[in-house]
Amino acid sequence: MINKTAHRGAYIHIPFCDHICYYCDFNKVFMKNQPVDDYLDALALEMKGYGADGLPETIYVGGGTPTALNEQQFERLFIDIEHYLMNPSIKEFTVEANPESLNEAKLKIMKRFGVTRLSVGVQTFDNRLLKEIGRAHGANDAANAVRLAQEHGFNNITLDLMFALPGQTETVLHESLERALSLGIPHISIYSLQLEPKTIFYNRMKSGTLKLPGEDFEADMYGQIILELEKHGLHHYEISNFAKPGYEGVHNSMYWHNEEYYGIGAGAHGYWKGIRYANAGPVKKYIEHVCKQGNARVSEHEVTFTEKMEEEMFLGLRLMRGVSVEHFKEKFGRPIEQVYGKQLEQLKARGLIHERDGRLAMTPKGVFLGNNVFEAFLIS
């Protein structure tokens, strides 16, 4: 019998895009001439295998661009999700969408199949910057897409924004935040630009043609973001995430609480039964693997006891609430001070973490130096 209440999530990857953004290093391919229908066949087969092992409490469909699928393909995806993975007591069902490919028909499909949350990739409301980073939509397209979703009953919407973009000023950032807040959305995820190999921006940086803000300016922007969003009632609950009470991301919180989840689709990563695994990335290789073995795993790593404790710390400390001292002891059978006493003393002495109400969390100073905090627990 399938356990319908087991605590787990499912991430489903749609790698297709109508265009490639200059900063993106996710597993993605141009949509044109891709075997999309064959991919959906393989995706359904992989879903079937994991669904038989227990239905997830959360589902997150990401990409790539899930809304790049046409209406027929999009509906087929949700038919398969409903058949193989849908839990009657689902806690959260999120789908990523881009403004230029989100339309009324797709919103109706998502509503019919029980999607509870939309993640809209906006990045900025500045038209010049949108062109600079290779986005296909304009600022008004993004605002209109959000309003259309709201008209169709989607009130739990999160916007993805970016900062420290080429040529971005604090004024431009402020205007984007104000435009986002004016839409009445309850959640914002905001990330600084990261230069990753094999991206257009990385190549421009190497050639010296990409001008980026310095670290101090980036820190000033981050401080501005925290102040402005909290002033408008979106509390800072994770390093890069802000929400009105009750709208915190359930699926992503599962990652930060170091819980297990299925990773389904080309290039997806999963963590299941103590094993972290990665699927084949190229679409055709993914299809071949699933057809041969029922899943697409090309690498597996059994997480050691020490690694589980490390992950509990550096993932949990991303949350502003931090890590529960009592929960750590219950989970691992050892007091947290016994395992990480030296690191905790050093971080406290530097003013980067503190302990309150039985929880270890980053101080405001620690939030700005998060990588220094996380690295302290990587001792294996």
Average pLDDT over residues 100-115: 97
Question: How would CATH label the architecture of 305-375?
Answer: Orthogonal Bundle (1.10)
pLDDT confidence of 208, banded at 50, 70, 90? confident
Average pLDDT over residues 115-135: 94
Average pLDDT over residues 276-303: 96
Position 17 scores a pLDDT of 85
- Quick check: 21 pLDDT over 80? no
Position 127 scores a pLDDT of 95
- Quick check: 4 pLDDT over 50? no
Position 212 scores a pLDDT of 79
Higher pLDDT, 363 or 5: 363
Which pTM does this prediction carry? 0.94
Position 27 scores a pLDDT of 65
* Contact assessment for residue 25 and residue 196, using Cβ atoms and an 8 Å cutoff: yes
Q: What b-and-e string marks burial along 349-369, b requiring 16 or more CB atoms within 10 Å of the CB?
A: eeebbeeeeebbbbbeebbeb
- Quick check: 24 pLDDT over 70? no
- Quick check: 2 pLDDT over 60? no
Average pLDDT over residues 33-42: 96
Q: How far is CA 10 from CA 85, 188, 255, in A?
A: 8, 22, 11
pLDDT confidence of 5, banded at 50, 70, 90? very low
Kindly report the three-state secondary structure assignment for every residue of the chain: CCCCCCCCEEEEEECEECCCCCCCCCCCEECCCCCHHHHHHHHHHHHHHHHCCCCCCEEEEEECCHHHCCHHHHHHHHHHHHHHCCCCCCCEEEEEECHHHCCHHHHHHHHHCCCCEEEEEEECCCHHHHHHCCCCCCHHHHHHHHHHHHHCCCCCEEEEEEECCCCCCHHHHHHHHHHHHHCCCCEEEEEECCCCCCCHHHHHHHHCCCCCCCHHHHHHHHHHHHHHHHHCCCEEEECCEEECCCCCCHHHHHHHCCCCEEEECCCCEEEECCEEEEECCCHHHHHHHHHHHCCCEEEEEECCHHHHHHHHHHHHCCECCCEEHHHHHHHHCCCHHHHHHHHHHHHHHCCCEEEECCEEEECHHHHHCHHHHHHCCCCC
Cβ neighbours for 140, distance < 8 A, ≥ 6 positions apart? none
Position 56 scores a pLDDT of 96
Angle of the 336-349 helix axis to the 325-332 helix axis, nearest 10: 150
- Quick check: 176 pLDDT over 60? yes
pLDDT confidence of 28, banded at 50, 70, 90? confident
Average pLDDT over residues 196-201: 74
Average pLDDT over residues 111-124: 97
Average pLDDT over residues 172-197: 93
| Per-domain boundaries in the chain | 9-256, 305-375
- Quick check: 196 pLDDT over 90? no
Position 201 scores a pLDDT of 73
pLDDT confidence of 333, banded at 50, 70, 90? very high
Position 198 scores a pLDDT of 75
* Out of 27-36, 180-189, 346-355, least confident range: 27-36
- Quick check: 57 pLDDT over 90? yes
- Quick check: 3 pLDDT over 70? no
pLDDT confidence of 124, banded at 50, 70, 90? very high
- Quick check: 18 pLDDT over 90? no
Question: How would CATH label the architecture of 9-256?
Answer: Alpha-Beta Horseshoe (3.80)
Average pLDDT over residues 189-206: 79
Position 1 scores a pLDDT of 33
Instruction: Return mean pLDDT, the chain.
Output: 93
Average pLDDT over residues 228-235: 97
- Quick check: 6 pLDDT over 90? no
CA distance 281 to 28: 9
Angle of the 36-51 helix axis to the 283-293 helix axis, nearest 10: 40
Percent of the chain with pLDDT over 70: 96
Average pLDDT over residues 196-218: 78
By CB atoms closer than 10 A (0-12, 13-18, 19+), residue 136 is middle
